[in-house]
Amino acid sequence: MQNLKERLEVIEYSKKLNTTNLSPLRSGNISVRGIQASNDGFFITPSGKKYEDLKPEDIVFLSLNEEKDIVSWSNTGKNPSSEWRFHQDIYKNKREANSVVHAHSPNATAVSTHGKSIPPFHYMIALAGGEDIKCSEYATFGTHELSMNIIKALENRKACLMSNHGQVAFGKNLSTAFELAQEVENICNQYIIALKLGQPKILSFKEMKKVMVKAKNYKKG
């Protein structure tokens, strides 16, 4: 089978969505950038299948060309995740993105229902690429509008919340993208706890700029 490595990797991390409680049941989706038949594109989880039952042939390849996408999955009889569009747009707009993780993680989803960015109450927010974690405006799942809202929220960032929906993170590989999604979930949990005690102290823009420089060398290797 072509691209077996990429397909198995998508399956491995899709199962981790469940086993790590990052995204329950069939929610969320995983993709990795790749090439098939000389077409640049990505391999993504199918729509509606239990992750524990996934097989390599279930993983769907989509090109970065929208016209080819229609052919690529209709000919196979397989449907990609309903959120394929924002995966495609992230790969188109972020050359550094080689993998994307989307999760309905409990804490990130809860915070996203407020439709607000997470301010720098903790310096680890810098791991997402900016001085705060943006929350994209709400739009119906699977739509072009949602995709464009996410791209806007990801400006100069590697992760964002999705209003009334969940979170999305990307990385140089699935390991880094998945770990970043876990970091975002942990930050959201800490933020919820902090708010129970009142309004947390917010780090200054100047301090976060210093932290962001240091964060570039954090977790290398």
pLDDT tier, 68 (very low <50, low <70, confident <90, very high otherwise): low
Q: How many angstroms separate the CA atoms of 174 and 43, rounded? A: 12
pLDDT tier, 109 (very low <50, low <70, confident <90, very high otherwise): very high
Catalytic: which of 6, 9, 83, 183?
Answer: 83
Would the pLDDT of 3 be above 60?
Answer: yes
CATH topology for 4-215 is L-fuculose-1-phosphate Aldolase (3.40.225)
- What are the residue boundaries of the structural domains of the chain, listed by start? 4-215
pLDDT in tens, 82-91: 999 999 999 9
Is 15:51 a contact under the CB 8 Å cutoff? Answer: yes
pLDDT in tens, 182-209: 999 999 999 999 999 999 999 999 999 9
Sequence letter at residue 105: S
Does 12 qualify as catalytic in the annotation?
Answer: no
DSSP-derived pairing of the beta strands 60-63 and 39-44: antiparallel
Cross-strand bridge partners of residue 44: 31, 60
Instruction: Report the Cα–Cα distance between both ends of the chain, in Å, rounded.
Output: 30
Q: How many angstroms separate the CA atoms of 14 and 23, rounded? A: 9
Query: Any residues with CB less than 8 A from the CB of 174 and at least 6 apart, and which?
Result: 9, 10, 12, 13, 30, 32, 99, 101
